[in-house]
A = this chain, B = another copy of it.
Amino acid sequence: MTVTHVDPIEAAAASPAEARARYRDGLEVPTTGWATGFTQANMVMLPKEWAFDMLLFGQRNPQPVPLLDVTDPGATTTVLAPGADLRTDLPRYRVWRDGELVDEPSDVVDLWRDDLVTFFIGCSFSFESALLDAGVPVRNIEQGRNVSMYRTNRDCRSAGRLSGPLVVSMRPVPAELVVTAVQVTGRMPQVHGAPVHVGSPESLGIADLSRPDFGDAVESQPGDVPVFWACGVTPQAALMASRPPFAITHAPGYMLVTDVPDATYRLP
């Protein structure tokens, strides 16, 4: 993997199409902070033979798996980002065989199959800007880290052959701003919506907040309360648990940058 210095101001000011062109040309960086104001999306590609189960899994678990778009089999484009080629325009992919992560390439052109259906799932990056707008600090952004994510002891509703645990992201929120955080994100159901839990990691089966299952550890400040949101990595946990023969996803943090303004997913 190439390490490339990217100017954060330049990244934030890039249009979604400019950001995707950079990734297509080989830039492999997390998408946080890029193309400010535009929605980023989680991605899962599965053969048509598994697509009904995945679509049903999303329908039954709308909080962790809010489906923003689902393509026709073999389509390499999405209405969320006209002009994007889904095989090349994310900065990093993950390839799964029988539920095992086998590769993290920067494109999937050679792996492409005409029976692949692509699912785009809302991402909590969209509500982080809404939290900031409402005066709620976002510690993972302050600390320049990926958000902390954890497997929980709660099962998703299964769908055919797909099942797995609810995965949550956690953000430490100052206690006096927890209500604001609930209200702001509750108005964004297509990007995970209101928190699923406030305050007690152990009731979700999380033993140690400093050891997340995905992403980075994020430090709480004095007076912060841990707040948990349903997380778009949940489908990846379902792939690991349910072991379909073949799947492609985005790499965590390396999302599709869409042309859809974040405000589209805010209810009045």
CA distance A67 to B59 in the complex (A): 8
Which residues of chain B have C-beta atoms less than 8 A from A70's C-beta?
56, 59-60
The chain B residue sitting closest to A53, CB to CB, is B52
CA distance A21 to B267 in the complex (A): 39
Mark contacts of A35-69 with chain B using CB atoms, 8 A cut-off: 1 yes-contact digit, 0 otherwise.
00000000000001001100110111000000100
State how many angstroms separate the Cβ of A42 from the closest Cβ of chain B: 15
Interface size class of A (residues with CB under 8 A): 10 to 19
User: Does A223 sit within 8 A of B, measured CB to CB?
Assistant: no
Given contacts A55-B59, A56-B55, contact A72 B267 (CB under 8 A): no
Given contacts A51-B52, A55-B52, A67-B59, contact A72 B160 (CB under 8 A): yes
CA distance A70 to B160 in the complex (A): 11
Among A48, A186, A267, residue most surrounded by chain B Cβ atoms (within 10 Å): A267
> A267: which of B52, B160, B267 is its contact (CB, 8 Å)?
B267
User: Does A222 sit within 8 A of B, measured CB to CB?
Assistant: no
Among A48, A52, A70, residue most surrounded by chain B Cβ atoms (within 10 Å): A52
User: Does A82 sit within 8 A of B, measured CB to CB?
Assistant: no
Which residues of chain B have C-beta atoms less than 8 A from A60's C-beta?
70
| Known A55-B59, A59-B59, A187-B267; further 14 A-B contacts with Cβ < 8 A | A48-B52, A51-B52, A52-B52, A52-B55, A55-B55, A55-B56, A56-B70, A58-B59, A59-B67, A59-B70, A60-B70, A72-B160, A186-B268, A267-B267
* 8 interchain pairs, CB-CB under 8 A: A48-B52, A51-B52, A52-B55, A55-B56, A55-B59, A56-B70, A186-B268, A267-B267
The 10 closest A-B pairs by CB, nearest first: A52-B52, A55-B55, A59-B70, A59-B67, A56-B70, A51-B52, A267-B267, A55-B56, A55-B59, A52-B55
Write the residues of chain A forming the contact surface with B, with a CB cutoff of 8 angstroms: 48, 51-52, 55-56, 58-60, 67, 70, 72, 160, 186-187, 267-268
